């Protein structure tokens, strides 16, 4: 905290003072019943007094024109904006993206701008922030990253304008010029099997029971992500037993999942996705762990009913052990499982419009991020050579393949349970 060393009163509504952290004088001006601090940028007292009179006059004119604002420091405004977003999330009315904005503000914007007055943030200050942020990233951020950063910043500016701490005209423009989006890191079917085995190995060698449960849950989480294309995070984490249903026709069975929360739900509404049968063994595993399940119970939880945020960490450890953490297209993460699903489905010849609806995205986004896959979709037509299904290896984990016929015999049991309690 800075300490006031010297003060010179000019009038009841104006005085200049010095602090122990600066050689220059500051002015305190009372406007509309509020005291405002302004830097005079002067070392000499007489010059500082003259500047204080000038600042008082300028603020008075702004007040007469209805343009006066009592500015706040960035940290204070940002924390108020964060509080508002968190409140909206808690009530279920906030956008899913609010969580991202809150994280970005805490990690980047508040540390950099901190006690800078919100009205002092101009293009020069923003350029300095861009350079600092690039150093934190270790690379140039992509356009999509910048869009999230800018949206977070706009929430702060909006709060400042709403609270009359700055004028709309004072909000600076934010640049979205960044590196072009790169291809999405994914797994080949063989790499996925290797990653799966690495997680199984971790589970078998767990020292603590809770750690084992987290890794056990991760196995099922992976299977759902890579065989449904559901977004990991909000979409996956909010799935309940009541969101899953299936239909039978003789020996044929189709599973469906209703996605009710996630990135695009606000714009597209809930969506129903079709599951691959490879998730059957994971469903059975989950059913066995939770015999007293209810339709409203979360699907992915530990034995005591609690949820965990350790899945990403456990997955990263498994990838490191398997030598799969890095790829030519960036670091892999749990989200790479969704990218793998989309890539595999494209290679299998699934129509892009159908795939876009299944994944809650657009054809344009698929074309943008998976354009490298599209030529392979027409390899037979382009090369004149038919390699059968050698170019698209179907990935079925051994556990699923081994128990597939046994599980099909359980469908009547699952159907009876659904009719009784409302979930399989």
Residues 104, 244 within the same domain: no
pLDDT of residue 258: 94
Q: Please, which contacts does 214-217 make with residues 24 or more away whose CB atoms are closer than 8 Å?
A: 214/302, 214/308, 214/310, 214/311, 214/314, 215/314, 217/300, 217/301, 217/302, 217/308, 217/311
Residues 97, 201 within the same domain: no
The segments of the chain whose pLDDT lies below 50 read 382-383, 387, 389-400
Is the model's pTM score more than 0.85?
no
pLDDT of residue 377: 58
Q: What is the pLDDT of residues 96-145, one digit of tens each?
A: 889 999 999 999 999 999 988 887 787 778 888 988 888 888 777 777 88
pLDDT of residue 302: 95
Split into its structural domains, the chain has a count of: 3
3 state SS of 256: strand
- Give the containing element (helix H, strand E) for 16: strand 14-19
Residues 222, 129 within the same domain: no
Residues 155, 203 within the same domain: no
Residues 265, 394 within the same domain: yes
Structural domain of 128: 74-170
Q: How far apart are CA 91 and CA 87, in angstroms?
A: 6
pLDDT of residue 391: 40
Q: What is the DSSP letter of 179?
A: B
Residues 119, 268 within the same domain: no
Residues 44, 81 within the same domain: no
Q: Could you tell me if residue 183 is inside a domain?
A: no
Q: How far apart are CA 157 and CA 107, in angstroms?
A: 17
The percent of residues in the chain predicted with pLDDT above 90, rounded, is 46
Domain-ending residue, one of 64, 95, 112: 64
Residues 411, 290 within the same domain: yes
Question: What HEC string does 285-344 produce?
Answer: HHHHHCCCCCCCCECCCCCCCCCCCCHHHHHHHHHHHHCCCEECCEECCCCHHHHHHHHH
pLDDT of residue 396: 44
Q: What is the pLDDT of residues 86-109, one digit of tens each?
A: 999 999 888 888 999 999 999 999
- Give the containing element (helix H, strand E) for 275: strand 271-275
């Amino acid at each position: 905290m800075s300490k006031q060393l010297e003060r010179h009163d000019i009038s009841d509504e104006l005085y200049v003072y010095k602090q122990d952290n600066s050689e220059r004088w500051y002015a305190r001006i009372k406007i509309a019943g509020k005291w405002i601090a302004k830097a005079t940028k002067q070392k000499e007292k007489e010059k500082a007094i003259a500047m204080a009179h000038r600042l008082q006059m300028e603020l008075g004119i702004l007040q007469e024109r209805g343009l006066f604002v009592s500015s706040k420091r960035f940290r204070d405004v940002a924390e108020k904006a964060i509080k508002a977003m968190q409140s909206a999330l808690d009530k279920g009315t906030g956008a899913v993206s609010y969580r991202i904005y809150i994280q970005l503000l805490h990690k980047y914007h508040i540390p950099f701008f901190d006690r800078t007055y919100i009205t002092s943030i101009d293009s020069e200050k923003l350029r300095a922030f861009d350079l600092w942020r690039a150093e934190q990233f270790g690379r140039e951020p992509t356009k999509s990253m910048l869009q999230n950063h800018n949206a977070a910043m706009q929430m702060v500016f909006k709060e400042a304008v709403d609270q009359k701490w700055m004028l709309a005209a004072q909000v600076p423009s934010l640049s979205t010029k960044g590196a072009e989006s790169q291809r999405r890191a994914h797994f080949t079917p063989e790499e996925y099997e290797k990653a799966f085995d690495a997680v199984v190995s971790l589970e078998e060698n767990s020292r603590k029971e809770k750690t084992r449960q987290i890794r056990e849950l991760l196995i099922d989480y992976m299977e759902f992500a890579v065989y449904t294309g559901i977004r990991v995070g909000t979409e996956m984490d909010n799935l309940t037993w009541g969101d899953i249903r299936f239909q039978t026709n003789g020996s044929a069975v189709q599973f469906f999942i209703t996605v009710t929360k996630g990135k695009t739900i606000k714009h597209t509404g809930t969506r129903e996705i079709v599951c691959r049968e490879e998730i059957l063994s994971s469903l059975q595993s989950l059913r066995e762990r939770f015999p007293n399940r209810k339709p409203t119970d979360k699907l992915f939880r530990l034995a005591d009913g609690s949820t965990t945020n350790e899945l990403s960490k456990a997955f990263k450890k498994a990838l490191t052990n398997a030598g799969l953490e890095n790829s030519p297209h960036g670091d892999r993460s749990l989200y790479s499982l969704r990218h793998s699903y989309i890539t595999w489905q494209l290679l299998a010849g699934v129509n892009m419009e159908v795939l876009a609806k299944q994944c809650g995205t657009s054809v344009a986004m698929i074309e943008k991020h998976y354009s490298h896959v599209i030529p392979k979709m027409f390899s037979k037509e382009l090369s004149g050579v038919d390699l059968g299904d050698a170019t698209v290896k179907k990935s079925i984990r051994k556990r699923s393949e081994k128990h597939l016929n046994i599980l099909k015999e359980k469908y009547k049991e699952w159907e009876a349970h659904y009719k009784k309690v409302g979930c399989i």
